[in-house]
Structure 1
Amino acid sequence: MHVVVNAAMSADGKLSSRRREQIAISGEEDFARVDRLRADSDAVVVGVGTVLADDPSLTVKDERLCERRLANGRSKHPARVVVDSKARTPSDAVVLDDAASTFVCVGEVAPVDERMDLAAHAELVTAGEERVDLLRAFAALESAGLERIMVEGGGELIFSLFEVGLVDELKVFVGPKLIGGREAPTLADGDGFVAEFPTLTLESLERLDDGALLTWSAGGSSTDT
């Protein structure tokens, strides 16, 4: 399994404002790059916070990329995965429509009724108790044939993936905006590291739109065999 975290952040490292409203940080060049990255992936993963805040489709937008996937014997869109410990994903969320297959990873703590409701729209992966056990969940995704994983956020999920050593690659577009706010989400939120900080190796730096795309390699996926 190869896990790529992709994000766009402001010049001061924020994913959105303190209101957690979606903000256009990228330009057209970066939007096209992200679409290509999705098209090359087996699955696109987000946390439930992203679903609740943005209601994304997580599908490929360029029909030419969709046609290329189909020509290669793949589905039109990559699978969509929501990490949602307590099964809070609304049943009418766009990510649950029939445009592509969807997996929802939940914990044992998730109420039975909500789990049953989600199971009518998606394949459930139950891993962990209070919180989703990401190592077990991603191992289940790998067993389902999902080898190349793209993670689109948010900050809590990204931190947790680094915490358990599941990230192979980090791609960050740094846009020409300053957002500020001590409560605004950052690239990696969660509890934060106080020791044994993850080490990244800068692989490339590219000017894109009016910002910069940085690509780092990380420690590697803990599910590698």
Structure 2
Amino acid sequence: MHVVVNAAMSADGKLSSRRREQISISGESDFDRVDRLRADRDAVVVGVGTVLADDPRLTVKDDALCEQRRTDGQSSQPARVVIDSKARTPVDAAVLTDEAETYVCVSEAAPVGRRMDLADHAELVTAGDDRVDLLRAFAALQAAGLEQIMVEGGGELIFSLFENGLVDELRVFVGPTIIGGRDAPTLADGDGFVTNFPTLELETLERLDDGALLVWNS
């Protein structure tokens, strides 16, 4: 399995405002890049916080890219995966539409009724007691044939992936906006590291729109 974390952040390292509202950080060139990256993956992964805040579809927008996937013998859309320990994903969330296959990863602590409701709309993966055990969850996704993974946030999930050594590549568009706010989400939130800080190797740096795209390998 190869896991790519992709994100857009402000010049001061924020993913959105302290209100957790979606903010336009990148431009058309980066939107196209993200669409191509999605089209090249087997699955797109987000945390439930992203679903609750933004209600994303997580689908490839360009019809030509969808057609190319079909030509290559794949489904027109990559699978969608939500990491959702307590099964909080609304049953009417855009990520649960029938445009693409969806997996929801929950823990044993998720209410049984909520799990049953979600099971009517998605494939459930149960891994972990109080929180989703990412190592077990990703192993289950791999067993389902999902090898090329794209993670789109949010900061809590990204931190947990680094904590579990699951990130192979980090791609970040840094936009020209300043957001500020001590409570605004950053690229990697969670508890934070105090020792054994993960280090990355810079592969490429290029100007894109009015910002810069940085690609690191773990």
Same fold, TM-score > 0.5, yes or no: yes
Matches within 5 A, 1:4-19: 4-19=4-19
Match of 1:222 in 2: none
Structure 1 residue 214: Cα displacement:
0.1
Matches within 5 A, 1:1-225: 1-218=1-218
* Gap runs ≥5 in structure 2: none
2: CA distance, partners of 1:23 / 1:110: 30
Q: CA RMSD in A?
A: 0.2
Deviations 1:17-72 (A, max 9, x none): 00000000010000000000000000000000000000000000000000000011
> Equivalent residue of 2:195, what SS?
coil
Q: Percent identity?
A: 80
> Equivalent residue of 2:214, what SS?
strand
1: CA distance, partners of 2:143 / 2:58: 21
1: CA distance, partners of 2:72 / 2:200: 33
AA of the residue aligned to 2:136:
R
Match of 1:221 in 2: none
2: CA distance, partners of 1:188 / 1:114: 28
AA of the residue aligned to 2:129:
E
Number of residue pairs matched? 218
Structure 1 residue 161: Cα displacement:
0.1
Structure 1 residue 97: Cα displacement:
0.5
Structure 1 residue 13: Cα displacement:
0.0
2: CA distance, partners of 1:105 / 1:47: 10
2: CA distance, partners of 1:208 / 1:64: 23
